[in-house]
A and B are shown apart, each in its own frame.
Chain A
Amino acid sequence: MESRPKKLTKGDIVKSMLLWQFFSHANYNYERLQATAFAQCMGPVIKKLYQTKEEISAALKRHLVFFNTEPDFGAVIHGITIAMEEERANGAPITDEAINSVKTGLMGPLAGIGDTIVQGALIPILLALGISFGVQGNVFGPIMFALVLTCCLVGITYSMWMQGYKLGRVAVEKLLEGGIVKDIIAAAGVLGCTVIGALAGKFVTLTTPLTVTIGKTVVKIQADLLDKLMPGLLPLGLTLLVFWLLKKGKSPITIMVYLMIFGAVGSFIKIF
């Protein structure tokens, strides 16, 4: 046991965070997903905390186990892990199992939260805005999307990382139980659904050129019937149909093939 406490500097922690920011998916693979990325970002920490070959080897192996989470919100796990490694290196009785169980215990819930907020709401909303500029040929659409999303994601990763390190395991578990996360997910869901609804109205297009002749009057199905019931009725119906197929467990690729056949056949027999 050493008398001098082994302390990580802020520089070590930021360096570790940057390694994750850049390389979290550099070696993404089926066997252990983000395992090597986790080990890589722990590199500076391990180098600082452990001296003997045995300790270093054990620490590296500890972080080469299966790991997969949402890289931005999940960063809180890395913060906690670094804090635990630091305590362990200073003699606290923290076992391999303790570190492992924190990592595996938190990676699932945080992937769920992170994917819902980032991939389910934040990105589609920013994309919807960018696309609505982009389809008009406005290059600020893609540029704004790129800048805003980058700032958001790097900001989330940085603050999660630092919070995790500072607060430790207990605080994070409290945060997960508490209402803030639930509120954010609910709010993201409401905003996301509203924007996606508008997107369905704007960008899914399906019209029919069919006409029905009753006596002398020609009734255009699209203009005289469907648009009177509700504009965009066919696109809405189609979107809900696809949603239902997904819910029933059809794979996106299968549905894509269905849609292509549906569109091709429909256009050849002239109903679209």
Chain B
Amino acid sequence: MELWQAIAIALMYYISDSPWPIGMGYWVLQRPLVAGFIAGVILGDPVTGTIIGATMNLIYLGHITAGGTMPGDMALAGYLGTALAITSGLDAQAALALAVPLGLLGTVVWFTRMSISSIFVHWADKYAEEGNIRGVMLMNFVPAQILLFVIKVPTLLIACLYGPDLVKGVLDFLGADILHALMVIGGILPALGIALNLRAILKGSTIPYFFLGFALSVYLKLDIVAVSIFGAILAFLHIQFTRGGENRGISA
């Protein structure tokens, strides 16, 4: 990896957690699907980056932050994981297994940032006491963003520069059995992403639709676009039919 590529990836890791991209960092730029594509562009191989990122994203499908909890740093997995996978020539499923420990490591960054940023709230309190609007407004992003930049960019720069050799060395040392194990793990980890998502939406009368979607894909081999069209039609019918039971008038 060239120095400028390492710098670019490190910067993207910060930007994806910053407010600058219309607040779309967490929603868009942190998703491994997008991060893999961007890392691929930086490393001159957007197609491989996209494949790796898309595969990694499966475990972060049900990634929900509610009330500030964070089950893994998907941006670290997406940017660093893709970069390491491309430079060490890993295939997508093995790369997915590599993403997991990275994602867990990234939660350290999250806890650090969430704890230290509490201090800045008190700085804002002081400006509020003085009636200084501008001061309060600045306290919402200046200190926290400097902190985030300082934590994220150097860490990732070092990881990008020294990571590839390390990963390659470890894999060469461990051999084919480990690669097979990584593939198996990479194959089953999406179950967690999917189950996490189900926890949010699988309840009561929606349960059969999960099995329907599963059957549509394993028996009829339909792709996701086709399944979502059927799903949209079913969603419409579902509301129509359940509405009558509640004896509600036609509203809206």
Residue ranges of A at the interface with B (Cβ–Cβ < 8 Å): 19, 21-33, 35-37, 39-40, 43, 46-47, 53-54, 56-57, 60-61, 64, 68, 71, 111, 115-116, 119-121, 123-125, 127-139, 141-143, 145-146, 149-150, 153-154, 178-180, 183, 186-206, 230-232, 235-236, 238-243, 245-247, 251-253, 255-256, 259-260, 262-264, 266-268, 272
* Complex Cα gap A239–B121 (Å): 42
B: interface residue count bin: 35 or more
Tell me whether B181 and A64 are in contact (CB under 8 A): no
Main secondary structure of the interface of A (DSSP, over half): helix
Residues of A within 8 A of B54 (CB): 130-131, 133-135, 141-142
Tell me whether B248 and A23 are in contact (CB under 8 A): no
A selection of 11 A-B contacts at a CB cut-off of 8 Å is: A26-B145, A27-B141, A33-B67, A64-B121, A116-B201, A178-B252, A198-B213, A203-B190, A242-B191, A243-B202, A252-B72
Does B125 count as interface, using CB distance less than 8 angstroms? yes
* Complex Cα gap A198–B143 (Å): 44
Tell me whether A115 and B66 are in contact (CB under 8 A): yes
Tell me whether A196 and B58 are in contact (CB under 8 A): no
Tell me whether A198 and B217 are in contact (CB under 8 A): yes
Residues of B within 8 A of A150 (CB): 22, 24, 27-28
* Complex Cα gap A189–B211 (Å): 13
Least distance between A174 CB and chain B CB atoms (Å): 11
* Complex Cα gap A27–B196 (Å): 27
Tell me whether A266 and B184 are in contact (CB under 8 A): yes
Given A57-B130, A154-B22, A191-B234, is A198 in contact with B136 using a C-beta cutoff of 8 Å? no
Residues of A within 8 A of B61 (CB): 124, 127-128, 196, 199
Least distance between A25 CB and chain B CB atoms (Å): 7
Least distance between A145 CB and chain B CB atoms (Å): 6
* Complex Cα gap A142–B179 (Å): 27
Least distance between A163 CB and chain B CB atoms (Å): 14
Least distance between A235 CB and chain B CB atoms (Å): 7
Residues of B within 8 A of A29 (CB): 114-118, 120-121, 144
Tell me whether A187 and B27 are in contact (CB under 8 A): no
The A/B interface has a contact count, at CB < 8 Å, of 400
* Complex Cα gap A53–B128 (Å): 10
* Complex Cα gap A262–B97 (Å): 13
Least distance between B73 CB and chain A CB atoms (Å): 12
Residues of B within 8 A of A139 (CB): 37, 46-47, 50
Residue ranges of B at the interface with A (Cβ–Cβ < 8 Å): 18-20, 22-24, 26-29, 31, 33-34, 36-38, 46-48, 50-51, 53-55, 57-58, 61-68, 71-72, 92, 97, 100, 104, 113-118, 120-121, 124-125, 127-131, 133-134, 136-137, 139-141, 143-145, 177, 180-181, 183-185, 187-192, 194-203, 206-207, 209-219, 222-225, 227-228, 230-232, 234-236, 238-239, 242-243, 248, 251-252
* Complex Cα gap A199–B191 (Å): 10
A179-B251, A198-B227, A199-B217 given; 9 more Cβ-contact pairs under 8 Å:
A128-B228, A131-B58, A134-B54, A139-B46, A139-B47, A145-B34, A186-B206, A186-B239, A190-B238
Least distance between A37 CB and chain B CB atoms (Å): 5
Residues of B within 8 A of A230 (CB): 218
